[in-house]
Structures are given as C-alpha cells and as structure tokens.
A and B are shown apart, each in its own frame.
Chain A
Amino acid sequence: MSNKRNLFAIVFGGAALIGVALHFFGAPKQASEPKIPTAAEAVPAVDVSPTPAFNVAAPTPQPTPSPEGPIPLLGPQLRKIGDCLQIHNSLDDKADLNFHSLQDSLRGELGDLLATDIDWQNVHFTLPNGEKRRLRIEIEGTGEEGSARVLKLYGVDKEDLPIPIPLTEAQSKNPSTEYIASIENQGQVTLREAASHGVFSKGADLFYTERNGFLSDLEISYEGKGVKCQDLQSSHGNCNCF
C-alpha cells in the first residue's frame, strides 16, 4: 500500500514538474494573444466611395452544400404558417427551403414584399495561405438618431474564435458593396449568413435568417397573429403560432 502511495506521489509530482517545465521552457503558447494583422496588411485600402444603401433585394448568396446532410424542404411548414396567420397561402409540399419559395406561397395573401433590409451579415472565407477570415456587417447606432452600416473583420484563432482585425473608420463605416466584395475576393467563401427584415404590401412584418442561401429561421406578424419557425435547416425544425 505504501509503495502504491509512493508511486502515485512520484507519478503525480513528476507530471506536475514536467508541466511546469514545459510551461516555462517549452514552446511559446499558441493560445496567448495572437498577433493581429493590421488593417493595412489585411485588407485593401478604401478606393471606392461609400454607398449608404444596404438593400439586398440583390442576388441571394450561392448555396453551399451543408455538411449536415440534405436540407429539409419548406413545403411541410407552409400549412402551419398559413394556419398561424389565418391566411390561405398557396401550398406546395415540395417547396424548397428558400426565400423565393416563401414569397411564392405568401404573395397571394400578403402581397409583394416591398422592401427588405439586412440586419446583419456574416461571411467566412479562407485565404490562399489557409488562414481563415470572417467579416460581419451590422447596422449600428452612431448617435441619438443616427445609424451606420458597420463592417468588422476578424481572423480566427485555434479555438475557432474571432480575433478582431482593426479597420479604419473609412473602411468600416458604410463601406460600399464593391469594397466588401474586394475583401471577400481575397479568399474562398465558405459561409454566408444574413438576417433580414421586410414588410409585405398588406402590412405583414417579416424577419428571416438565411444560411448559405437556405432559410434557417423566420417570423411573420400579421394583424395581431404571428408565426415563428426555427432551426429550419435541421430535421427538428418547426413552426409555432404566437
């Protein structure tokens, strides 16, 4: 028994000492605050004039195959959406899980979608040297009444967490579409997600999130009734009235 205790003490103490030795004399820790590329190194200078509009009735991002398997259809959810809003939207069990299918189903009852604006947008891309980058665009408050479209750029550490890369105000505040594209074009885009809101001509409010071109969440409010659909890209996605 005594030998076992001694053995335990030696093994445990030895492991601790090795740990300490590695801590003080070993390779530098990768996890320590990583070197952050400066804006000048990381992104192109601003050479295009800012465009304040951020309306993306523009092209839907190209769908990227999901690693989690086939994307479910929107069709099975359309009936529930209609029931919750108490409307007779058109039903198509084979409707794809995309924004256009949703619009096609609702147009007859709610009218056209008059305007959509992005709340936020994330784009992931990988540089030719393998480094990962993420950009996020959000509407941020700049004062009592003002807001601006703000671009933020991030590297990614070994824990898959974002490392802010500083941008100048000219680069980050109300960047033009061309400027954003010039950053994305530095690498291969691996993910696009965006949350948007809009209003139908008959007054219904729509909020939705897309991931790689497919709907992932949506919410519609219309004349005091509401429907909320979550996790639509997973097999347990569902819609509920509220």
Chain B
Amino acid sequence: MTKMLSSVVLGALLFGATLSHAAVWQETQTWTPEWEQKYSQWVQNEFNEDIYMTGNYKGIPTDCSDAVYLGRIIFSYENKLPFVIKDSTGGSSRLSNQMSRFDSTGDSLQRVRKFMNFVADVTSTKTMPDDTYPVAINRTYIRPGTVWSRPRITKDNIWRKIIGGSVKEDPGHAEVVKEVTETGVVNLIGSTVPKDLRMLNTTSSLVFMPIETSTGFRNWKQPSFYSQAVESLPGYSLEQFNTLGKRDDGRRNLKDWTSDVQDHLALREESKDEEVIRQVANVCSLVNARVDIIKKSEARRAALGGQCMNAGDYDSYSTPSRDKRIKTTLKQIIDTAGGYGLTSAQRAKKLKPALDSCPDIEITPGQKIALYDFSIAMLKNDVSSNPNDSFAARWGLETPPANKCPKYE
C-alpha cells in the first residue's frame, strides 16, 4: 500500500512538474468580478511610479502602452490568473501566458520578464482597442485599473481639409486609472514615449475628449470576453462618445466633457481649494517630466556642436505640446482661484503658496528652480520649446538669442 501511494505521489509530482513547464505560468484562478476588484486594489496600492525601477520588475523600459499592458501581466502572473490578448500581427491564435516559447528560460520570474518584453514588442496604443472595451462612466466601471487611451492624435485642420493630402498624426497615449477620488477626479498613472527606463508619472489631467470608439475609458477584456459580442460585456457603453460633453447646440467640447465625467463620478463637489491643489500637482508632475526631455535635448544640441537639428531631432526634442499643456493648466488654476482685473502673472503671484507646495525641481545636478518661478516665466512666454535654444532658454532663465534654425511645427 505504501509503495502504491508513493508511486501515485511521485507520478503526480512528476506529471505536475512537466505541466508547470508548459507555459509562462500556469493559471490556477479565473477572472471574476472579485478578481477584478482585487486588480483595482492592486493598481491603487501597488502599481506605483517605481514599479519598473525597483523590485522584481526593475529595469524594464516602457513607453505608455507598455506600462499599461505590463501592469496587467504582473498582476495576472502574481495571482496565477490568465493573461490573454489578441495577436496584433494578424494571427488567429491569441497571445497568452500559455505560450510555450519560453519553457527553457530559467525561473518563472525570468520567463515572465521575457514574456513582458515580447508583449511590449507586439502591442501599442493601436492594439489596445482590441484588448479593452469602452465602459459606462460611473464608479462601478471607472475604477483603478481602467485604461484611458487613444490610438493616435490626428491633426486635422481646415487647411488640410481644403487641400487634402496626408493627415499628420501624433502618437497615441495610454494610462491607467490609479484612483477615482470622492470628488470624481480621475488620477492617472503612466509612462510616455520614447520607450525608456523611467519612473511612471501621475496626473489628473484628461487632455483629450474621446470621439472614436477605440478611445476613452476602457476596461480589460477577460479571456472569455474575446468570444462574446462586445455589447454584452459588463458595463459596455458608448455614452462617453455621444452624450457626455454635449451641449444644447449638439456640439461637444473637452471642458464640458471633463466636467460631465467628474459629475458622473463624484460623491461630493470639489472645492476651489481642492481643485487648485490638484491642478498644481498636475503642473508639478508635467514640469518634472520635462527635466529628462530637456536633458536629452541638451545632450543632442551639444553633440551637434552648433548645427541645427533636423526634422527628426526637432520632433524628438521640442516640447510645444507639453509646454502648451503646462500653460493651459496654469491658466485653469488661475481661473479657478479667481482675481478678476489682474494680469495672469499678477494672479499667479497670489498663487505662490499653492505653487510652492511642489518641491523645487532639479533641472540639472546642483541647479533647482521653483515651480512658481518657472510658472511666471511660462506665463510671460519666456520659456522656449525650441530644441535649438540654450538650456537656460528652455527653462526661461534667459531670453533666447534669435537663431536661424528652421522650425518643424
């Protein structure tokens, strides 16, 4: 009897051991509403700015969509849940933790890190619409872990509509909802382009209004969802593309859309002070993220030794969109705080205590600037977005001398 038992146990162990090497990881759980709730809690508590800088996932470079996809992989792996996405290269199989390619790769953590690299290679903001679906704007479906994304920014202006030609496209973006506050503010966390090893950034700024249904607030498809009609999925809704942000004349705009989203998610109204503090945190984050870009831009400018940047470099190192976003947010803060009859710069001075809540920003080793000083320079149009200008000019610390380099904007 003992022999028989030991045979069975040995057989089971060996059989199990063989099976455990037939996947990146073996799932023992299935996605349920309870697991989605745990995923939300994990994103809120564990999916932090340094997730790709420390711990098990240290050293994984990300762009914006990588950060989103890989977060879902990490939670799935750590909780033995399945991870399944569509094959963006057009194959009929789905990419999943069950793929056997990495069987010979070391331990389970090494396998999952290789799998993460692979998934990052074959996914992007353009694949996200296939792996997520748009949901209703309420606290049940907009929660930590919800994805906020758009596959692209399309610049279509009236001139282009008249003359035709190519619709110039900017890269898309994706972030993860980190928190939905009781005032209905959606705090987001994410990476950016180009792909790099970096801390993630947080913001509460929703910088675009969803128009096409491949954009907006979206929840992950669970493995079983891929074979179901999207209309039948939990919380599926297209309200964010039609009713939200629409005014009496039928037109929609970002300001009203953002306000409607906040109203749908709020348990109570946000006070003016709370809004100012929140917006200052957004500016603080945006300016801090600008440090690395300007640093790389300066290195490129130095390498060129006085030559002008070409179109590719200019696109990579100029910051007009980011700077416009900073300036717009500053103006929003000023509007929120009030002070009619004063200039923007005068009103900004009244906001010094709020702006000083952002720790001084180290723009280069040993040199810091206060957010307040940078904000005043920005509002006076003294900050340069042009990568051919000097480091000091990029930070509003000197007036840039006129340069003859072409602009590619």
Contact = CB atoms under 8 A, between A and B. Distances in A.
Nearest to B3: A9
Given A19-B15, A143-B316, A157-B101, A197 B167 contact: yes
A223 B211 CA distance: 11
Contacts of B156: 199, 205
Contacts of B161: 114, 199, 201, 203
Interface stretch (B120-128, B335-343, B357-365): B120-128
Nearest to B18: A19
Contacts of A161: 87, 91, 93, 95, 99, 101
Given A13-B10, A162-B91, A242 B241 contact: yes
B165 A15 contact: no
Interface of B: 3-5, 7-8, 10-12, 14-15, 17-18, 63-64, 87-93, 95, 99-105, 118, 121-122, 124, 126, 151-152, 154, 156, 160-161, 164-167, 169-172, 192-194, 211-214, 230-231, 238, 241-242, 246, 250-252, 293, 312, 314-322, 409
A93 B140 CA distance: 42
A146 B102 CA distance: 34
A141 B91 contact: no
Contacts of B100: 29, 31-32, 159
A193 B380 CA distance: 49
Contacts of B314: 145-146
A60 interface: no
Closest 5 pairs between A and B when the two form their complex, measured CB to CB: A141-B171, A146-B315, A143-B316, A141-B193, A31-B100
B126 A20 contact: no
A160 B90 CA distance: 10
A16 B315 contact: no
B151 A145 contact: no
A197 B90 CA distance: 19
A144 B90 contact: no
A167 B318 CA distance: 27
A138 B124 contact: yes
Contact of B90 (A134, A146, A221): A134
6 contacts: A9-B11, A33-B105, A54-B166, A139-B169, A159-B100, A223-B250
A33 B101 contact: yes
Given A9-B7, A13-B7, A143-B194, A159 B166 contact: no
Given A16-B15, A142-B194, A144-B322, A32 B103 contact: yes
Interface string A225-238: 11010100000000
Given A134-B90, A224-B246, A117 B126 contact: no
A83 to B, nearest CB: 15
B167 A117 contact: yes
Contacts of B11: 9, 12-17
Interface in A6-46: 6, 8-10, 12-17, 19-20, 23, 29, 31-34
A146 B153 CA distance: 11
A197 B154 CA distance: 9
A114 B18 CA distance: 58
A224 B213 contact: no
A219 B169 CA distance: 18
A185 to B, nearest CB: 19
A140 to B, nearest CB: 7
A143 B246 contact: no
Nearest to A29: B103
A52 to B, nearest CB: 9
Interface stretch (A73-81, A118-126, A176-184): A118-126
A34 B101 contact: yes
B242 A226 contact: yes
A164 interface: yes
A141 B63 contact: yes
Contacts of A122: 88-90
Contacts of A53: 166
A16 B12 contact: yes
B230 A115 contact: no
Given A31-B100, A32-B103, A136-B89, A145 B321 contact: yes
A159 B165 CA distance: 41
Contacts of A159: 93, 99-101
A143 B315 contact: yes
Contact of B170 (A124, A147, A157): A147
